[in-house]
């Protein structure tokens, strides 16, 4: 049971070694802020999680603000010049910058507008006569150096807690090197391809415990490609299961992690028409 007496920083130890509480900050760019909200959805372990760090800036949870932090978690994609400037300031202040979620890692759902190749038209369609500045959506790494990425839309709170614990303890952070299909099979799920549903599980990086496939929703690739993802085999499966390549393209384009593969497939399909 958790000790009700708050332990002083210099008394915190792990295997006899003193453990600091690093000051951390959370920021959002163009996003729904759902990844930050995930951190507060785990009520059972929330206090223990917060006890690992000293949160000094988190707009969703507190009014106090400080620019003195070691670790910065940034959610959202870059879509404006002021966001570029803000992101560079965050980079200058932080020892470690963590891209939090698919928008920060790949551009996320926001990057879907990039495929129209006419952002002025996009702005007019969405905002009408309002003067809104909106550029192509880009991941954080297009603007600054990113030290660590946490994938997902939204991120999986248990994974964030594990990664933060490793950071605090000075342990290395390792992402799974296998696709989601491995986790799906371990949970003894029926393959969604056998149910006529497209799924990017064979090529998407694991780590979510097959979150969507376990709820009978084919993977949309929010965690990006697994190392050595076999795209040719995925395409063969799609064709063999008589699922249209257009449905596959929808999934490849959704979060930005498969942008190169989606571009190639779109060109092929447009060439056929």
pLDDT at residue 16, rounded to an integer: 63
d(CA 12, CA 28): 30
Give the DSSP letter of residue 170.
Answer: T
Domains along the sequence of the chain with CATH: 9-169 (3.40.50.700), 180-272 (no CATH)
CB atoms within 10 A of CB 193: 18
What is the C-alpha end-to-end distance of the chain, expressed in Å?
A: 64
φ and ψ at 17, to 5 degrees?
Answer: -105, 135
pLDDT at residue 6, rounded to an integer: 44
Contact between residue 208 and residue 223 where contact means Cβ atoms under 8 Å apart: yes
Structure tokens at 126: 């969405």
* Residue entry with tokens 């614990």: 165
* Residue entry with tokens 């932080």: 94
Pairing of strands 23-28, 54-58: parallel
Q: Tell the burial category of 13 from Cβ atoms under 10 Å away from its Cβ (0-12, 13-18, 19+).
A: exposed
| Alpha helices by DSSP H, the chain | 34-38, 43-50, 81-93, 102-106, 119-127, 157-169, 180-186, 231-240, 245-254, 259-272
pLDDT at residue 17, rounded to an integer: 64
This prediction's pTM? 0.90
Q: Which residues of the chain have pLDDT under 50?
A: 1-7, 9-10
pLDDT at residue 5, rounded to an integer: 39
Q: Of the candidates 224, 155, 221, 219, which has an alpha carbon nearest to the alpha carbon of residue 193? A: 219
Q: Strands, DSSP E only, in 96-232?
A: 96-100, 148-150
Contact between residue 69 and residue 21 where contact means Cβ atoms under 8 Å apart: no
Structure tokens at 162: 């594990």
Kindly give, in sequence order, each residue whose CB lies less than 8 Å from that of residue 227, ignoring residues fewer than 6 positions away.
177, 205
Contact between residue 133 and residue 79 where contact means Cβ atoms under 8 Å apart: no
Indicate the SS3 state at residue 203.
coil
Kindly report, residue by residue over 183-219, the tens digit of the pLDDT.
999 999 999 999 999 999 999 999 999 999 999 999 9
């Amino acid at each position: 049971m958790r000790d009700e007496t708050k332990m002083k920083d210099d008394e915190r130890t792990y295997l006899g070694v003193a453990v600091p509480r690093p000051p951390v900050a959370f920021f959002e760019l163009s996003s729904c802020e759902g990844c930050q909200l995930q951190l507060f959805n785990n009520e059972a372990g929330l206090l223990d999680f917060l006890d690992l760090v000293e949160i000094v800036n988190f707009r969703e949870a507190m009014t106090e603000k400080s620019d003195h932090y070691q670790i910065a978690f940034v959610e959202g994609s870059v879509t404006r010049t002021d966001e570029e400037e803000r992101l560079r300031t965050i980079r200058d202040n932080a020892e470690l910058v963590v891209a939090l979620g698919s928008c920060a890692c790949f551009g996320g759902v926001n990057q879907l507008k990039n495929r129209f190749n006419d952002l002025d038209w996009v702005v007019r369609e969405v905002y009408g006569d309002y003067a809104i500045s909106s550029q192509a959506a880009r991941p954080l790494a297009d603007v600054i150096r990113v030290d660590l990425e946490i994938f997902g839309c939204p991120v999986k709170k248990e994974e964030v807690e594990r990664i933060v614990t490793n950071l605090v303890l000075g342990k290395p952070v390792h992402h799974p090197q296998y696709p989601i299909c491995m986790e799906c099979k371990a949970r003894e799920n029926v393959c969604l391809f056998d149910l006529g549903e497209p799924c990017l599980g064979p090529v998407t990086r694991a780590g979510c415990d097959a979150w969507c496939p376990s709820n009978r929703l084919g993977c949309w690739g929010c965690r990006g490609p697994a190392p050595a993802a076999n795209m040719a085999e995925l395409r063969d499966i799609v064709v063999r299961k008589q699922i249209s390549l257009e449905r596959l393209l929808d999934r490849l384009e959704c979060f930005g992690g498969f942008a190169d593969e989606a571009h190639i497939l779109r060109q092929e399909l447009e060439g056929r028409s």
